[in-house]
Amino acid sequence: MQRITLRLPDHQIEMLQHMVEAGEFPTISEAVRYAVRQLIERQGGRVLKESDQVSFKV
User: What is the secondary structure of the chain as a DSSP string?
Assistant: ---------HHHHHHHHHHHHTTS-SSHHHHHHHHHHHHHHHHHHHHHHHHHHHHHH-
Parse the chain into domains and list their residue ranges.
25-58
pTM of the model: 0.75
Q: What is the dihedral sign for C-alpha 3, 31, 8, 42?
A: positive
Q: How confident is the model at residue 3 (pLDDT cuts 50, 70, 90)?
A: very high
pLDDT tens by residue, 39-49: 998 888 777 77
